[in-house]
């Protein structure tokens, strides 16, 4: 595996797109001070995921985007693409040529690509584990790095040896597994707390459900009693209404009977009145006849005298 091509656009002093091809073996980049030699190394490290602006000789990460000059306007994006020859399959990917790209927009958004497929920074770092090509790998030794290695602590030099021996990825995976295990243990502890709280809530809910069921049962019984009482009252009212109707019917019959008697008596009174009128006429006639007789007697007596 070796670096085959470097493409830079809008990164630091490279306003225009440049392409550098690297043949197998040793390649030297030479030029006067300030021509951008160090920026080429910075571009390689940056594309591999370098997150420290200080390591890129900048005060902040946004400084890597070309900021303009007297004759050139600022760029809105910096992009660097590395292309590797992977015919030896050193990189764990099924391609003989592998490209890695990084973009940084002036808005602050950042993107990573492997063979033009967008990915995560983590994917880029995992791709180059144990190859020495990471942003902190031994393949890139800037000024002062050799002295740092000589003065480094044993555990710091150990990381370089593990990278060179190809075991750093296993350590990284082990550390990631330990972090995951720790997160899982924390999650389990949280779940245990949640289960405990949930069980308390379940017990409270069960008590509430029991009380609600008791309330519903008592309410249903009360409702049934109210219905039975209402039906009883309705039955009593029906019986009383039947009795009233019966008395009313009897009263109506009595009234009709009394009306019949009244009509009969009225008829008898009318007949008696007619008979009385006849008797009065007969009495009047008798009185008239008696008066006539008395008059005749008086006349006869006068004649006798």
pLDDT (tens digit per residue) in 188-203: 888 888 988 888 889 8
Closest by CA position to 46, among listed 107, 89, 100, 83 = 100
**Residue range 219-258, pLDDT digits in tens:** 999 999 999 998 888 888 888 888 999 999 998 999 899 9
Q: Is residue 94 part of a domain?
A: yes
Q: What is the pTM of this model?
A: 0.50
The tens digit of pLDDT for each residue in 60-112 reads 999 999 998 888 999 999 999 999 999 988 888 899 999 999 999 999 999 99
Residues comprising the chain, all counted: 305
> In whole angstroms, what is the distance from residue 292 CA to residue 60 CA?
167
Mean pLDDT, residues 37-60:
86
| Chain centroid, CA 173 distance in Å | 37
Does residue 12 contact residue 57 with C-beta atoms inside 8 Å? no
pLDDT in the model for residue 211:
92
Is residue 57 in a domain? Answer: yes
CATH number at residue 104: 3.40.50.300
pLDDT of residue 143: 60
The answer to whether the CB of 39 falls within 8 A of the CB of 14 is yes
The two most distant CA atoms of the chain are separated, in Å, by 209
Q: Out of 52-61, 63-72, 167-176, pick the least confident.
A: 167-176
Exposed, middle or buried by CB within 10 Å (0-12, 13-18, 19+), for 136?
middle
Residue 178 in tokens: 């330990």
Residue 56 has pLDDT above 60, yes or no: yes
Residue 33 lies inside a defined structural domain of this protein: yes
State both tokens at 154. 């044993």
pLDDT at site 55: 76
* Residue whose tokens read 């109707």: 245
Q: Is residue 44 part of a domain?
A: yes
Judge whether 169 and 159 are in contact, CB under 8 Å: no
Read off the tokens for 152.
Answer: 């480094």
Q: Which residue has the tokens 């019986």?
A: 239
Indicate if the alpha-carbon torsion angle 274, 276, 277, 282 is positive or negative: positive
- Distance between CA atoms of residues 4 and 14, nearest Å: 19
Cα–Cα distance, 26 to 152 (Å, whole number): 28
For residue 224, tell me if it sits in a domain: no
Q: What is the dihedral of CA 276, 279, 285, 290, to 10 degrees?
A: -120
Question: What's the average model confidence in pLDDT over 151-157?
Answer: 73
Q: What is the pLDDT of residue 302?
A: 83
Phi-psi category of residue 81: left, alpha or beta, with phi > 0 → left and psi -120 to 50 → alpha: beta
Cα gap 269→112, rounded to integer Å: 131
The reply to whether 101 falls in a domain is yes
> What's the pLDDT band for 138 if we cut at 50, 70, 90?
very low
**Ranges assigned E (strand) in 107-203:** 110-114, 117-119
Query: Are the CB atoms for 82 and 40 separated by under 8 Å?
Result: no
Which helix (DSSP H) or strand (DSSP E) does residue 132 occupy? none
Residue range of the domain that includes 19: 2-128
pLDDT tens per residue across span 246-292:
999 998 999 899 989 889 898 888 999 998 989 989 899 989 989 98
**pLDDT class for 165, splitting at 50, 70, 90?**
low
- Asked whether residue 286 is domain-assigned, the answer is no
pLDDT at 235: 87
Question: How many folded domains does the chain comprise?
Answer: 1
What is the DSSP secondary structure assignment for residue 73, as one 8-state letter? Answer: P
Report yes or no on 301 lying in a domain: no
């Amino acid at each position: 595996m070796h670096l085959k091509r470097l493409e830079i656009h809008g990164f630091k002093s490279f306003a225009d797109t440049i392409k550098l091809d690297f043949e197998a073996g040793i390649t030297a980049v030479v030029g006067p001070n300030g021509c951008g030699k160090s920026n080429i190394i910075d571009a390689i490290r940056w594309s591999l995921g370098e997150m420290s602006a200080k390591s890129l000789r900048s005060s902040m990460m946004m400084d890597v985007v070309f900021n303009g000059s007297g004759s050139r306007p600022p760029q809105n994006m910096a992009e660097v693409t590395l292309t590797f020859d992977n015919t030896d399959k050193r990189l764990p990917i099924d391609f003989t040529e592998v490209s890695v790209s990084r973009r940084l927009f002036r808005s602050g958004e950042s993107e990573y690509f492997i063979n033009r497929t967008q990915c995560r920074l983590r994917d880029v770092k995992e791709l180059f584990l144990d190859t020495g090509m990471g942003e902190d790998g031994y393949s890139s030794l800037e000024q002062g790095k050799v002295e740092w290695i000589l003065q480094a602590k044993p555990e710091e030099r150990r990381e370089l040896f593990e990278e060179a021996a190809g075991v750093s990825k296993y350590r990284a995976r082990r550390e990631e597994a330990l972090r995951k295990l720790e997160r899982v243990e924390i999650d389990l502890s949280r779940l245990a707390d949640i289960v405990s709280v949930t069980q308390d809530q379940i017990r409270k809910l069960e008590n509430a459900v029991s009380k609600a069921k008791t309330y519903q049962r008592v309410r249903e019984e009360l409702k049934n009693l109210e219905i039975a009482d209402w039906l009883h009252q309705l039955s009593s009212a029906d019986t009383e209404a039947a009795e009233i109707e019966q008395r009313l019917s009897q009263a109506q019959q009595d009234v009709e009977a009394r009306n019949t008697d009244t009509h009969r008596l009225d008829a008898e009174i009318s007949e008696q009145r007619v008979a009385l009128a006849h008797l009065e006429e007969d009495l009047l006639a008798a009185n008239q006849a008696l008066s006539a007789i008395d008059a005749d007697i008086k006349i006869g007596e006068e004649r006798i005298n």
